[in-house]
Amino acid sequence: MQSEELTLLEVPEPEAIRDWATENGILILAHSYQDGFLQEAAHFVGDSLELARKAASAGADAICFAGVHFMAETAKILCPDARVFVPDMDAGCSLAESCKAEDLIRYQEHLTKKLGKRPVTIAYVNCTAAVKAACDIICTSGNARQVVESVPEDQPILFVPDKHLGGWLNETLGIDMILWDGACEVHELFSVETLNVMKAENPGSIVLSHPECPKPVRDASDHILGTAGMLKMVKAAQGETFLIGTEANLIYRFEKEAPQNTYLPAPGASCACNICPYMALNTPEKLWKCLHERGPEVTVAAEHMEPARRSLQRMLDIV
Ligand code: SF4
């Protein structure tokens, strides 16, 4: 017991953690918003869509998901036979929390009466399994346009839970979806005033913002892209300076995969960068412990599994 406790205290290098997980049949997935150590320890790093696809195709018996709770739930829904572990069960998400399934169902009923027909509900993937089960189709920031465009024009659409992503889609597609009043607390912190100061200090820089940012920040940006779209753009660029308007840990991945450019985190209103406090709950120590203890384990209520899987599958069939 003593030596086991000692082993857990002594966290090995990321490569050794990955090798240990491989030998013990555990696939480590890490979101791009995790810090560099956790990204290095993972077998695969990606955004929500990439990790959802990887979870669905990997055929793993056990997955350790370094991300937040709804992402681990998504892996469980797509791989029902796999056990899914998380380093910290408290790693939640303010955006997912802003939309409770019971409130969504009540609002859907209200809109159905008001409109005389049930609206199609599109849920951004940053939501709980119960919300995925209550909606019709899922989207990510990278494929949201295609998903919205797949709905017949005469159908009213309710978009949940992110009002900024929904607002950006309404603006760019010239439509009028009904928006849930949710937001990500990290992206809401970006400030157009401080961004403009930073742009002036870095003439010629290119501003990339996530669609979860508020409209004034989006309007001051050169490109509005999901994380996969940002990665594609920086890989194709040579010697540019990018101001990055999303969670600052993504820069670790950019510097690794496209080191020819310079990356600066766009500032929040009162801090130099924006780090997701929920993602930050996952630490190397907790990852190492989670792998050894095979827990905590994420489960999804039986009644949510199949309807949530259908909503995810509709998205995967489109993109
Ligand atoms: S960055 Fe925002 S949307 Fe992403 S997990 Fe953190 S709180 Fe949720």
Q: Are residues 176 and 235 both part of a single domain? A: no
196 and 142 in a common domain = no
Pocket test for ligand 1, best of 34, 47, 99, 187 (most atoms within 8 A of CB): 187
Query: Do 16 and 56 share a domain, yes or no?
Result: yes
Contact 276 CB / ligand 1 (< 6 Å):
yes
Are 72 and 115 members of one domain?
no
Amino acid 130: pLDDT: 98
* Geometric angle at alpha carbon 180, from 174 and 186, rounded to 5°: 100
- Please give the average per-residue pLDDT across 171-177, as a whole number: 97
110 within domain boundaries: yes
Q: Does the reported pTM lie above 0.75? A: yes
Tell me, rounded to whole angstroms, the distance of Cα 145 from its chain centroid.
17
Range of 197's domain? 187-265
Total structural domains within the chain: 3
Give residue 269's pLDDT.
Answer: 54
Give dist(CA 62, CA 297) in Å, integer: 10
pLDDT grade for 3, boundaries at 50, 70 and 90? very low
Residue 270 placed within a domain = no
Residues 148 and 132 in one domain: yes
Type of residue numbered 50: E
Q: Which residues contact 52 (CB under 8 A, 6 or more apart)?
A: 74, 75, 78, 125, 312, 316
Residues in contact with 198: Cβ distance below 8 Å, sequence separation at least 6, in sequence order: 205, 243, 264, 266, 267
What is the separation of C-alpha 152 from the centre of its chain, rounded to a whole number of angstroms?
Answer: 27
Task: Determine the residue of 212, 278, 281, 282 to mutate for testing ligand 1's pocket, defined as the one with the most ligand atoms within 8 A of the Cβ atom.
Answer: 278
Alpha-carbon distance 276 to 260, whole Å? 26
Q: Are residues 252 and 286 both part of a single domain?
A: no
The amino acid sitting at 172 is T
Q: Is the CB of 185 under 6 A from ligand 1?
A: yes
Tell me: do 132 and 209 sit in the same domain: no
What was the pLDDT predicted at 55? 83
Q: Identify which of 93, 55, 99, 213 has the alpha carbon closest to the alpha carbon of residue 223.
A: 213
pLDDT in tens, 237-289: 999 999 999 999 999 999 999 999 999 998 765 554 589 999 999 999 999 99
Q: How far is CA 80 from CA 2, 68, 138, in A?
A: 35, 18, 18
Task: Examine residue 272 and state whether it is found in any structural domain, yes or no.
Answer: no
What's the confidence (pLDDT) of residue 29? Answer: 97
Examine residue 222 and state whether it is found in any structural domain, yes or no.
yes
CATH number at 35 reads 3.40.50.10800
127-147: average pLDDT: 96
Residues 217 and 293 in one domain: no
Please indicate, yes or no, if residue 273 is contained in any of the structural domains. Answer: no
